[in-house]
Structure 1
Amino acid sequence: MPNLKSLESLRRRICTIIDIGTADDLISRAYDIFYTLVILVNLMVTIAYTFDEAEAACGPLLLRIEAATVAFFAVDCALRIWTAKYHHPNLKEWKAVCRYIFSFSGIVDLLSFLPYYMPFFFPSGAVAFRMFRVVRIFRLFRINAYYDSLNVITQVLTSKAQQLLSSVFIILVLMTASSLCMYSLEHDAQPQVFSNAFSGIWWAVSPLLTVGYGDIYPITTLGKIFGILITFLGVGMVAIPTGIISAGFVDQYSRLKRISEYGTEADIHFIRIHLTPRDRWANAPLRDLGLPEGVIIAAVQRGRDIIVPRGDVVLLPGDNLVLGAGVYEDDVRIQLKEIILQTHHPWVGHPLRDLDISRQTVIIMVRRRNRTLIPNGGLKLLAGDKVFLYTQSHLPHAQDIQI
């Protein structure tokens, strides 16, 4: 039984390491950096191997680097499969594994290493398997999740997906119509060039997308006039998705600015509760705690791990439960403050009755090491004491405010 618990603890820890790490988890952050470097090294090796000079100079080294990076991809994918149930705690383990494997990230992870090893089992399909290695480049999308600035791109594309699909649909319709028209105008004059409608589509790509291949073009007067019109339309068509994406970036940054500038702030006070085996909350899921309205569960600290407080998380003895409470909203503003007295603080060495503090401020508790002291007038404060202050003030009513 202890071995089973230690194995589950190891799986949970590995899940936090291979996931996007927090700033205080150095191992997880180091894994993220190493993972990004491996992706970039694998991509550079793949590009370098296409140059004959690089292959002749250091071909065996490039092959070994590729083998090492692909092996890392395989181990990373295996670890993600092994810890999939912690990413989807509400699902059964086999369903969580299937959810990961058939997701976009799971398919990319599998295709990052399987085509490399498949020729050992199916030599006849080596060429086809080599083509699938290009999928490794999609692993670069994982870097997008590590940086908030890059993640804005994903948010913009997601929010503007419908508009982008509509613009692509318009371009495809215009491309099909222009290709059929050009085929009708140029087929008799250039039967070898505009031999079918597909030839017209290939020509339509050139003016509509402004790439200008020049391998197929009209020679009749009507064909040239029609080509000029399509070229003008092409400039407008390309500008549509560009404008949509630009507007999406402006909307995204404007939204973030509105949140930061026009939002109202309120203090949230936090307390930490250490659970022992005798506590009623131990071995109970969060949804069954019965907390009062207005109290929020900020985090559950279990050893070095910070667990997201979902409803199905079961609290264990030894956990540290961080609770938060919103600001007290009434005609009276109540503020609690904690002051840790340093050596040269003016209150050190003086009894409480001699302190120069506001009449609305009351010292409600003094903590000295692990002891809680009752604040009476003769209590003399020492360096290192934690002094808890209670301040109460009345908020002005609307009719009391003069403009």
Structure 2
Amino acid sequence: MKKKVYEFINEDSWFQKFIYTLIILNVLSLILASYKEIFGMYKVFFELFELFSVIVFSIEYVLRLWTADLHFEKGTSFSKRIKFSVSTYGLIDLISILPFYLPLFFPFDLRVLRILRLFRLLRIFKLGRLSKSLQTIMSVLKDSRSELSLTLFVAFILLILSSTLMFYVENDAQPDKFENIGQSLWWSVATLTTVGYGDIYPITPLGKLLSSAIAIIGIGVLALPTGIISSAFINRLEMDKKSEKECECPNCGTKF
């Protein structure tokens, strides 16, 4: 019985399509509910749909927790269920349904309830379990994490350095705009990412020169992670195509 349930929730295409569709509808429901006119007209529908979704996702979570000992190879049944509970998808499954149950047991302020409802948006990450494309993206990011970490570290050093320099350059000329390094850091982020909101900008010649240099460097810094991820994607696609072309002889096991 447990094995059939495990195969149903993990391999049955109709069940996966149903969960996939339900997740998409939940995201659309969250967006539409933000419109006061629509929410006022269809409040009952939104509440019933949320109740239905929570019931389905709760049953799915319980079933996955129950069959976790079939998913993992090593450990006892209890340790395997703990391993599922603290896994990425296990936490996403749990957090996506918790906002519904918590107010039933604990009194919350309305502002806290609004924040808890935002966690419903995490249901979209459940698609990672069902979508091959999202699984590929997560796999590529995981394989490139060391290169991306190095790039982010370089960007962080550049942000701190540029914001500190700009603070000392512009503080005397604009004490209200560059009051501290924290405000300079906001300018540095906007400049390094080439967004340039225009709310804070240098007016001294040295400050303008520094800003120009940071903006040019920002183009290269932003291009680094893009190139790393693109290269990793190309390598992954080539590996997938190569594995699809390889065939294995059923008699001797030779790959050709």
Structure-2 separation of matches of 1:99 and 1:195: 48
Q: 2:226 aligns to what? A: 242
Distance 2:171 2:244 in 1: 61
Does structure 2 conserve the Cα–Cα contact (< 8 Å) formed by 1:116 and 1:129? no
Report the CA distance shift for 1:257/1:118 in structure 2 as closer, same or farther (over 3 A). closer
Task: Kindly indicate whether residue 4 of structure 2 is the aligned counterpart of residue 16 of structure 1.
Answer: no
What do the CA deviations read for 1:121-172 (whole angstroms, capped 9, x no partner)?
2223453354244334333333334343443222221211111111111111
Residue 11 (structure 1) shift: 2.0
Q: Does the Cα contact within 8 Å between 1:119 and 1:125 map onto a contact in 2? A: no
Answering whether residue 240 of structure 2 is matched by residue 253 of structure 1, we say no
Q: Does 1:144 align with 2:135?
A: no
Unaligned runs of 5+ in 1: 1-9, 22-27, 270-324, 328-403
- Which runs of 5 or more structure 2 residues have no equivalent in the other structure? none
Over the matched positions of the two proteins, sequence identity in percent amounts to 32
Which residue pairs with 2:181 in the alignment?
197
Aligned pair partner of 2:72 in 84, 88, 94? 88
Tell me if structure 2 keeps the 8 A contact 1:116–1:130. no
1:69 aligns with 2:60: no
Bigger relative contact order, structure 1 or 2, given CA contacts below 8 A and separation 6+? 2
The TM-score normalised by the length of structure 1 is 0.59
C-alpha distance in 2 between matches for 1:129 and 1:100: 27
Contact 1:167-1:240 at 8 Å conserved across structures: yes
The aligned amino acid for 1:121 is F
Between Structure 1 and Structure 2, which shows a larger proportion of strand residues?
A: 1
Residue 123 of structure 1: SS of its match in structure 2?
coil
CA RMSD of aligned residues (A): 2.0
Instruction: Name the structure where helix makes up a greater proportion of residues.
Output: 2
Cα separation, partners in 2 of 1:65 and 1:157, compared to 1, 3 Å: same
Deviation of 1:231 after TM superposition, in Å, equals 0.5
Map 1:30-109; keep pairs closer than 5 Å.
30-109=14-93
Report the equivalent of 1:326: 253
Q: What amino acid maps onto 1:36 in structure 2?
A: Y
Deviation at 1:217, TM superposition (A): 1.0
For 1:87 and 1:258, the matched residues in 2 are separated by 28
5 Å matches for 1:284-303? none
From the superposition, tell whether residues 168 and 52 of structure 1 become closer, same or farther in structure 2 (CA, over 3 Å).
same
Aligned to 1:161: 145
What amino acid maps onto 1:239 in structure 2?
A
Contact 1:39 1:140 in 2 (8 A): yes
Provide Cα deviations, 1:336-393, integer angstroms capped at 9, x if missing partner.
Answer: xxxxxxxxxxxxxxxxxxxxxxxxxxxxxxxxxxxxxxxxxxxxxxxxxxxxxxxxxx
- The verdict on how the C-alpha distance between 1:258 and 1:11 changes in structure 2, with shifts beyond 3 A counting, is closer
- 1-structure distance, mates of 2:47, 2:34: 12
Shift of 1:256: 3.3
**2:235 alignment partner AA:** D
1:67, distance to aligned residue in structure 2 (A): 1.8
Count, aligned residues: 254
Distance 1:193 1:61 in 2: 49
What whole-Å deviation, never above 9, does each CA across 1:172-229 have from its counterpart, x for those lacking one? 1101100001111111111111111110110011111112211111111111111111
Q: Deviations over 1:260-296 (max 9, x none)?
A: 56x5x55214xxxxxxxxxxxxxxxxxxxxxxxxxxx
**Matched residue SS, 1:173:** helix
